């Protein structure tokens, strides 16, 4: 299978259109903060032959595959193994002091979901890992084995928005007293058995719990809270950022950070807005943009996407 077959870049044309004005300068730096298999990056490198790419991913498999895919672009490409809240340091380590265009295409890739041994998918039995970066950190199995009932309940509620969080937390605690819950198949069985019959028809019982565990394992929301402001900090005037979110918890964070960046900081009641209070960014799209019906039909991964974008209009103080 080629990378093209396993991951169709979401909202590619819209991302190109929104970032194009920021990438017109010869030598402009494009940062792909979630490189994955390099689908978006490859298209940007082809369409803007004068740009340079800094591609970041915390997953070494993704970096290897994207590295092979992008090898033909030679020294226009620098790939960095990092969590993307290290975006500013990664850009500096690649030899640049700013980024003209930045893209975040959040979440897991089809590669991660489809590789059974990564444990992200509730449809395939595998060790409960779920780390995007398999070189470090706590696995989902560690969490399921060690968190108390209250903590399991809290993450299922908070990161899965799961109504049966308490019931599932109790079922896991009871099951792990019998034998370790270290495979996705066993966790799915426990969750199905703990789901009342009426609720079984409202989607797969494991979907939200798996989402919650993945977010906890990879600290996804805490990282995003830092990564978007850090990305804004390295954009020069005219620099642009596009963020694609795939669930409401991520989108809420992006919305809040961009709202703050595009707001005036003038104290309430001041009759005129002083230049230093004017917003440093402007929003490029109203609200969150969705994929078209045609794209949703062609590419099911595009169904939940929410796109937000902004441009720097004033230099940092």
Ligand X SMILES: C[S@@+](CC[C@H](N)C(=O)[O-])C[C@H]1O[C@@H](n2cnc3c(N)ncnc32)[C@H](O)[C@@H]1O
Q: Is 37 in the site for ligand X (CB under 6 A)?
A: yes
Minimum CB–partner distance for residue 252 and ligand X (Å): 16
Query: Residues touching ligand X: how many (CB under 6 A)?
Result: 20
Contact set for ligand X, span 124-183 (CB under 6 A): 132
Q: Using CB under 6 A, which of 62, 213, 291, 305 touches ligand X?
A: 62
Is residue 55 a contact residue for ligand X (CB under 6 A)? no
CA distance 259 to 279: 10
**Among residues 14, 52, 58, 208, the one that binds ligand X under rule CB under 6 A:** 58
Site for ligand X contains 279 (CB under 6 A): no
What residues numbered 211-240 form the site for ligand X, per CB under 6 A?
223
Please tell me whether residue 118 binds ligand X under the rule CB under 6 A.
Answer: no
Among residues 60 and 292, whose Cβ is nearest to ligand X? 60
In the sheet that holds 240-245, the strands lie side by side as 77-81, 52-57, 29-32, 101-105, 240-245, 306-312, 281-283
Task: For the CB of residue 225, give the shortest distance to ligand X in the complex, in Å.
Answer: 11
Interacting span for ligand X (CB under 6 A) from 54-62, 70-78, 233-241, 291-299: 54-62
Which C-beta is closer to ligand X: that of 175 or that of 215? 215
Whether 227 and 33 have beta carbons less than 8 Å apart is answered as yes
Cα angle for residues 129, 131, 136 (degrees, 5° grid): 110
Q: Which one of residues 22, 23, 59, 245 is an interface residue with ligand X (CB under 6 A)?
A: 59
User: Shortest Cβ distance from residue 137 to ligand X (Å)?
Assistant: 12
Strand blocks (E) in the chain: 29-32, 52-57, 77-81, 101-105, 240-245, 281-283, 306-312
Q: Is 7 in the site for ligand X (CB under 6 A)?
A: yes
Nearest to 24 by CA among 238, 282, 232, 312: 238
CA–CA distance, 231 with 104 (Å, rounded to integer): 10
Query: From the list 16, 22, 94, 107, which residue makes contact with ligand X (rule: CB under 6 A)?
Result: 107
What secondary structure does DSSP assign to 89-158, as a single string? HHHHHTT-S--SEEEEE-S--HHHHH-GGG---TTS--BS---SSTTSS--HHHHHHH--HHHHHHHHHH
Footprint of ligand X on this chain (CB under 6 A)?
7, 9, 34, 36-40, 56-59, 62, 83-84, 105, 107, 109, 132, 223
């Amino acid at each position: 299978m080629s990378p093209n077959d396993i991951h169709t870049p979401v909202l590619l044309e819209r991302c190109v259109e929104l970032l194009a004005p920021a990438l017109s300068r010869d030598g402009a730096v494009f940062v792909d903060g979630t490189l994955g298999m390099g689908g978006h990056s490859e298209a940007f490198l082809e369409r803007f032959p004068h740009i340079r790419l800094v591609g970041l991913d915390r997953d070494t498999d993704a970096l290897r595959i994207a590295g092979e895919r992008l090898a033909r672009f030679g020294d226009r490409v620098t790939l960095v193994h990092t969590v993307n809240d290290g975006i500013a340091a990664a850009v500096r380590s690649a030899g640049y002091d700013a980024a003209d265009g930045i893209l975040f295409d959040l979440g897991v890739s089809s590669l991660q979901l489809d590789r059974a041994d990564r444990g992200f998918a509730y449809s395939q039995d595998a060790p409960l890992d779920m780390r995007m970066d398999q070189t470090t950190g706590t696995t989902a199995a560690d969490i399921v084995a060690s968190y108390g009932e209250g903590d399991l309940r809290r993450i299922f509620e908070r990161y899965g928005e799961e109504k049966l969080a308490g019931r599932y937390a109790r079922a896991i605690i009871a099951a792990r007293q019998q034998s370790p819950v270290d495979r996705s198949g066993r966790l799915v069985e426990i969750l199905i058995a703990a789901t009342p019959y009426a609720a079984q028809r409202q989607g797969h019982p494991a979907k939200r719990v798996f989402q919650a565990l993945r977010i906890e394992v990879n600290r996804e929301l805490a990282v995003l809270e830092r990564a978007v402001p850090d990305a804004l900090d390295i954009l020069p005037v005219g620099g642009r950022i596009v963020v694609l979110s795939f669930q409401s918890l991520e989108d809420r964070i992006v919305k809040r950070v961009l709202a703050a960046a595009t707001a005036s900081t003038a104290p309430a009641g001041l009759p005129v807005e002083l230049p230093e209070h004017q917003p440093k960014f402007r929003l490029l799209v109203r609200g969150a943009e969705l994929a078209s019906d045609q794209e949703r039909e062609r590419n099911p991964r595009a169904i939940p996407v929410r796109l937000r974008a902004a441009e720097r209009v004033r230099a940092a103080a």
